[in-house]
Chain A
Amino acid sequence: MENNRKAVLELSQLTLSFGGLKALTEVSFSLFERELLAVIGPNGAGKTSVLNCITGYYHPQEGDILYDGRSIIRLPVHRRAALGLARTFQNVALFDGLTTLENIIAARHIQLKPNPLTGALYFGPELKKEISHRRVVEDIIDFLEIQSIRKKVVGNLPYGQRKRVELGRALAMEPKVLLLDEPMAGMNPEEKEDMARFIIDVFEEKEISIVLVEHDMELVMDISDRIVVLDWGRVIADGPPQEIAVDPKVIRAYLGD
């Protein structure tokens, strides 16, 4: 079935090293349209590094990344974002001095295309533009059920809520591909459940493909269409959850030799 679906992202033979350390070795996999792909692997396997290569924070020494069939390997981070790649960070990277609302509006940058001249005057069209974006942002806030912290400065919020704001910020970019780096790490079971529900809702309601990096196996087996398993910077398995669950290589990687 996968073969006749269109690939949104194609990673081919990515090799990334830091000095002597090889973080990724010939990593290849694809993300198909409307797919929820999970990337799993033990600590230090290279999951975050893969996301950093896709979004442009890391520059692999070898290999190529195609987005909608076009190579994006040479594009800077902000250009890739403008093409429709949005992400969250493993260690929550919010704009701490801003409120929830402002954080999410800041992520409308691509659609807003701010202009310092019209902004300085703040007349007619500029005001309309601000209002229309405000409306989009309020919808996202309602969707994520964070109305109560709308005007709170995010620097002081508890961890679980900060993760939610970060998801909101990524959604505000109206991405085609959403890359989530351990969105549920460090949350209590209740928060985890909420977050899983948001991810599934987003996936079902929006024209979007998702790459989900996550440690919680049960959850990953539950919600993903396909799983890529990394170990020591290599892809050791790639397939539907039922296959991955019984793959001897995967079991060995997780249990140790």
Chain B
Amino acid sequence: MPLPSGIYNVTYKEDMAILRTWCHWVWLIAFLAFLALIPAFATRSQLNTLITIACSVIAVHGLNLLTGYCGQISMGHSAFVAVGAYTSAIFCNNLGFSFWIAMPLAGLSAGLAGLVFGGPSLRVKGFYLAITTLGAQFIILFVIIHLPSLTGGVRSLDVPPPSLFGYLIETDYSYYYLAMPMAVITTYLVKNISRTGVGRAFVAIRDNDLAAEGMGIALFYNKMLAFFLGCFFAGISGSVYAHYLQTINIEYFTLMDSIWYLAMLIVGGLGQTMGPIFGVIFMVVLRNLIMETAPLISRAVPVLGIEFGAAMSLVVLGLVIMFFLVFEPRGLAHRWEIIKTKFRLYPFPY
């Protein structure tokens, strides 16, 4: 990575650090402080959007490990989010667990579900694996629907809000301070996984599985690890989201949601830590814009009907994915790197 003139990496440790100049630290701290201060001036609906973004970022980070880094396409990611959401709800409702114990258990059970459905990845790759993971979407939802005594079946299931030191975290205001730090921590963990041995093994498998094997990288173990980790974060996301909504329904975890997760990742940039963050923000903001403008348009042009919003969001989703695949295949995160490099080197690019 090019550095500004006058700054050299003296040790390998410095060269490997994420933050290399005091300036980076200032930016990071300023950004985190800004995140912490947002609730002081944001409206409830803005906080709601930010919490949604935080939850999706956690899930898409998981998908990024699995699909972006390890190259194993998953079309059933929202089903693993569902496993996390329902596990968390069931542990709290039926066994009286606290959210703080139920959340890691949710991650764990989604991770284990990931192992079950990751099995075929030893045999099939690419397009065929995508179809196999589609099976996960249907099978998991089928199981949830047919266990109504635990999950409520097709009816909604209530989820208690988390509490901390006897204080209920149930407003948008307080929940922001749960969801956002979770997203930040997940980002940090995923960044570290991606830049150490496990992440390199994943990328090696993605780029050339035969050569990876020849380097001593066990394909099956590492693919399963990718499925476990990817689905673990999906489960955590599901748990955090479920306890925010305080009610979950099978409708929240459809194939369409899985496709949205993939779209977010493609738009943000596969295999880059910032990818999920950019992708989720972009897509959530876009979706909100459509949902706000669509009713206005359908009121102005009544022939379009009231379903216009939903239909339009699908059309726009399709167009956006097409646009990014053609014009920005490496996603927003890559564009961001280019802009950052320009700024860092400004005004002397050598």
Contacts and interface: CB of A to CB of B under 8 A. Distances in A.
Interface of A: 55, 57, 76-78, 81-82, 86-87, 89, 93-98, 102, 105-110, 112-116, 119-122, 126-127, 130-131, 134-135, 138, 151, 169, 173
Given A98-B203, A109-B200, A116-B229, A81 B13 contact: no
Contact of B215 (A81, A113, A115): A81
A86 B16 CA distance: 27
A77 B216 CA distance: 7
B103 to A, nearest CB: 17
Interface in B204-228: 204, 206-208, 210-219, 225
The 3 closest A-B pairs by CB, nearest first: A114-B197, A119-B196, A81-B216
Given A96-B208, A97-B203, A97-B206, A119 B192 contact: yes
Interface residues of B, number: 35
6 contacts: A81-B215, A94-B211, A97-B206, A97-B271, A102-B203, A106-B217
A109 B201 contact: yes
B12 A109 contact: no
A49 to B, nearest CB: 15
Nearest to B207: A95
B256 interface: no
A173 B201 CA distance: 14
Contacts of A78: 213-219
Contacts of A134: 12, 15-16
B208 A116 contact: no
B22 to A, nearest CB: 20
A94 B13 CA distance: 26
Contacts of B216: 78, 81-82, 109-110, 173
B203 A95 contact: yes
B218 to A, nearest CB: 5
B33 interface: no
Given A78-B213, A93-B211, A110-B216, A127 B201 contact: no
B227 to A, nearest CB: 12
Nearest to A120: B189
Given A95-B207, A97-B206, A98-B207, A106 B215 contact: yes
